[in-house]
A and B are shown apart, each in its own frame.
Chain A
Amino acid sequence: MRVSVLEEVFSANDQLAESNRRRLDEAGVFGVNLMASPGAGKTSLITRTIEPLRGEVRIAAVDGDIATTLDADRIAAFGVPTVQINTGGACHLDAAMLQRALSKLDLNHLALLIVENVGNLVCPAAFKLGMHRSVLIASVPEGDDKPYKYPVMYRGVNALVLNKMDVLAAFDFDVQYFRRGVEALNPGLAFFPMSCKTGEGLDLWLAWRRAERKRGGT
């Protein structure tokens, strides 16, 4: 006998993600999920974002990147509570890992939570965490064809940072071509060309982040 099921296997994770979101909402915490390839600049963007906000906003970070084990220390050096998730070599964070991380934080005393996902352009797109915004960091050395190779990642984010603009001249990176691919999938996506090294473009990103936190839920 055949029994029809028609269920998405990822729905269990989606439900947990929704419960994470409720927890953040109840505590008044705005959550941001940062995704990128390894080395694109996730940790650099976190420290650049935290730096001017210290004292102004109560921030915490959750770090799941496996590429550099020192990431959590780099963030914690700014005096921000940081939970390092031991992913055990996993290729993404999932909602259950985030749920455990949330339990280690004093959410009622926080306003902003930044999550550094595992460096990967495929798996994190499939696993919602329950954050309010998803941000993708692309970087110039990765090449301008990534929006055409990873459509599921590029279509699902709320903002896109193009990092390492300081080295643009050294690469055959066509910014127009890159953006055409982004716009085809995700028209009107907030786009921030940036250099975490020089600080170029950071002000617009920080203004966006501030405005989005005021707007709250999606």
Chain B
Amino acid sequence: MHEFSITQNLLEIALRHAEKAGAHHITRLNLVVGELSSVIDESVQFYWDIVARDTLAEGSELCFERVPGSLRCLGCSNVFSLNGRDYACPACGENQVVVAGGDEFRLESIEVE
């Protein structure tokens, strides 16, 4: 539901970097979307075609790299995936974790000409 405003933010970031690079046209955006980020890439795609119209980014392609949710054990630094049931580290049994990945929604780079 909230992808429309996110897509506008995305356009603002992409245009700012394209203009700085003196580009005439943005052909592609490379995005990283975490599984836990609350962003649904299909919805971003849907709004993108509307939002990018009549801008340097018109007709550009969105490429999503999806990152699964993962945790890092604070005991032994082992990185493991969420199972929805417990946070015990499968390597050392420790029960202290941080989210290591999956919460990001980042524009990595744009391709311009």
Chain A contact residues, CB within 8 Å of chain B: 1-13, 89-92, 94, 96, 122-123, 125-127, 145, 148-149, 151-152, 155, 180-181, 183-185, 187
Inside 8 A of A8's CB, which chain B residues have their CB?
104-106
A-B pairs with beta carbons under 8 A, tally: 109
B51 at the interface (CB under 8 A from A): no
Near A by CB (< 8 A), chain B positions 36-56 give: 36-39
For A181, give the chain B residue with the smallest CB separation: B87
Number of interface residues of B (CB under 8 A): 42
Cβ proximity bits B73-107 to A, threshold 8 Å, 1 near / 0 not: 00000000011111100000001111100011111
Chain B contact residues, CB within 8 Å of chain A: 1-2, 5-6, 9-10, 12-14, 17-18, 21, 23, 31, 36-39, 69, 71, 82-87, 95-99, 103-113
Q: Find out whether the CB atom of A151 lies under 8 angstroms from the CB atom of B13.
A: no
Q: Give Cα distance in the complex from A4 to B111, angstroms.
A: 9
Q: Find out whether the CB atom of B107 lies under 8 angstroms from the CB atom of A5.
A: yes
In the assembled complex, 19 residue pairs joining A and B whose CB atoms fall closer than 8 Å, in A order, are A3-B17, A3-B21, A3-B23, A4-B109, A5-B14, A6-B108, A8-B104, A9-B39, A9-B105, A10-B6, A10-B9, A13-B9, A89-B1, A92-B38, A94-B2, A127-B2, A148-B82, A148-B84, A152-B103
Q: Find out whether the CB atom of B37 lies under 8 angstroms from the CB atom of A3.
A: no
Q: Find out whether the CB atom of A5 lies under 8 angstroms from the CB atom of B84.
A: no
**Can you name 16 extra interface pairs (CB under 8 A) apart from A183-B95, A184-B97?**
A3-B21, A3-B110, A4-B109, A5-B107, A5-B108, A5-B109, A7-B106, A9-B9, A89-B1, A92-B2, A122-B38, A126-B103, A148-B87, A149-B84, A151-B36, A181-B87
Of A145, A184, A185, most buried by chain B (CB within 10 Å of CB) is A184
Inside 8 A of A10's CB, which chain B residues have their CB?
6, 9, 105
Q: Find out whether the CB atom of B38 lies under 8 angstroms from the CB atom of A125.
A: yes
**Shortest distance from the beta carbon of B57 to any chain A beta carbon, whole Å:** 12
